[in-house]
Chains A and B, each alone.
Chain A
Amino acid sequence: MINLRRYTLIRNIILVWVTVVLFAAFLLNIPKINILEHTARNLYFHVPMWFTMMAAVFVSAYHSFQVLRSGDIVRDIRALQAARVGAFFGILGLVTGIVWSKFTWYVGTDVWWNFDPRQSMVSLQLLIYGAYFVLRGALDDPNKRARIAAVYNLFAATTTPFLLYVIPRQMDSLHPGAEGNPAFSEITHPIMRLVFYPAIIGFIGLFWILYTQRVRTALIKHRVTHDPEL
């Protein structure tokens, strides 16, 4: 059973935390970095989105695994809602990345989409979640849907790590730490990490709030209608 007072307390702490991070990200001074200039502030938003999506993918895969172990429909609701919120953060990370690269490295060209490894991986994960949602729509019985969607989610989770090996050999990267690019610690001033690390924690906390709220709503709907999708 959820302790509602504790839940509210943690939620409020996270909300205050994210607010402070947002103010710091927009208002604090940042060191001057070539090409990036003031767009370097996007570091506080774009990178945590990617971290948050990875966390959501892990949460979703974990609950899919638990669906197969226990057959519990609540686990299915959790896997679905983690995937939905994770897809949302993935889209945000993708859009912030595309806009960022367009107005820095690709300014003056017509390039919007580049085949950066991380960009390809995020778009692939979004495709997989799209297929996951389509598959859920094609199954009627809630128990069968829980089991088969979990199988697909886990099966997809076994294939995506290959991209980590395959794509970097195929395409160049804009991201720090990739071959030929300076490491993350070289291009960022230590002072930026004072905002960057709290931003990661804040956005993962934001994911947790959205995810738990959606799970609670879906649970109530499930109790009323016996169908978590409605």
Chain B
Amino acid sequence: MTGWSILFAPQRNTPFPHIHPPYGSYLPRMNWIKGSWAVLQKDLRLEMRSRYALNMLLMFVLSSLLLIAFAIGQESVGERMQSALLWIVILFSASIGLGRSFVAEEERGTVLLLQLNVPGSQVFTGKLVFNFLLLLAVDLVALVVFALLLNMVIENWALLVFSLVLGSVGLAGATTLLAAIIARASNKGPLLPVLLFPLLIPLLLSVVRASRAALSGGLGVSGALGDLQTIALFSGVVITAAVLLFDYVWHD
């Protein structure tokens, strides 16, 4: 198989079969979207039963927001501080709540079952979408409570929501791969924030500027365009790299 025909050939499930045993090739050729959807559905159903991750995330967001509100007190906070605090709360709750997605599989002893039934990239996509949905819930609660507690004046709702959603895509991409990494570590404790925060500084800088542009006194859409492009590019690169690297973490 040479040249352009490689683009149209049926896809192999593991990118480098000479390194890992080609688990993928024993699997039934499942539709890629169908496999990812199955993983997502499984996670959603488990989450609906216990609501553990969701409740933990929301409680973390609420309590840290209250802490910030009490610590600041009556003083008014500028729009730059508002968007910075909002994103720091979202980052910390992501690093605490989303790290469980693969650790939980190890604890339940379902890793092997998942490895045998679904190719790695589909597991990754399912988990990624699940984490993204959790992050959307975090964004929503954080935004509403923050706007009430700190008297945020939002000029451009669409821009703020768009930058929150776009930032959450990149955040979910980085967190999902790192969650798979820490599930492999022997002492999992507080490893995720240590690994995650250095990687997210470019995202944090541009996302804080984009959300700030949407608040009162901000620059509006024209001021945030470059930052939105950076966030979109960052999310694309991070998710691509994560999909490529995931198989090395997922298979032994």
Contacts and interface: CB of A to CB of B under 8 A. Distances in A.
Interface residues of B, number: 37
B202 A138 contact: no
Given A69-B16, A159-B199, A163-B202, A148 B249 contact: yes
A167 interface: yes
A139 B198 contact: no
Contact of B202 (A127, A140, A166): A166
Interface string A15-27: 0000000000000
Contact of B187 (A131, A138, A167): A138
Interface stretch (A45-53, A149-157, A174-182): A149-157
8 tightest Cβ-Cβ pairs between the two chains A and B: A162-B202, A138-B185, A127-B198, A158-B241, A128-B198, A151-B245, A159-B199, A131-B195
A59 to B, nearest CB: 19
A144 interface: yes
A151 B209 CA distance: 30
A150 B230 CA distance: 26
Interface in B179-230: 181-182, 184-188, 191, 194-195, 197-203, 205-206, 209, 226, 230
Given A139-B186, A148-B181, A154-B241, A134 B194 contact: yes
Contacts of B242: 155
B138 interface: no
Nearest to B226: A169
B243 to A, nearest CB: 11
Interface of A: 68-71, 124, 127-128, 130-131, 134-135, 138-140, 144, 147-148, 150-152, 154-156, 158-160, 162-163, 165-167, 169-170
A155 B245 contact: yes
B226 A163 contact: no
A166 B206 contact: yes
Contact of B205 (A131, A138, A156, A166): A166
Contacts of A160: 202
Decide if the interface of chain B is mainly helix, strand, loop or mixed.
helix
B181 A135 contact: yes
Contacts of B209: 170
A159 B191 contact: no
A151 B248 contact: yes
Given A144-B252, A159-B199, 9 more contacts: A68-B245, A134-B194, A135-B181, A135-B194, A138-B191, A139-B186, A148-B184, A151-B245, A155-B245
Contacts of A139: 184-186
Nearest to B208: A170
B206 A68 contact: no
Contacts of B194: 130-131, 134-135
Given A162-B230, A166-B206, A135 B191 contact: yes
Contacts of A155: 174, 177-178, 199, 238, 241-242, 245
A62 B32 CA distance: 31
Nearest to B204: A166
A163 B206 CA distance: 10
A46 B201 CA distance: 25
B234 interface: yes
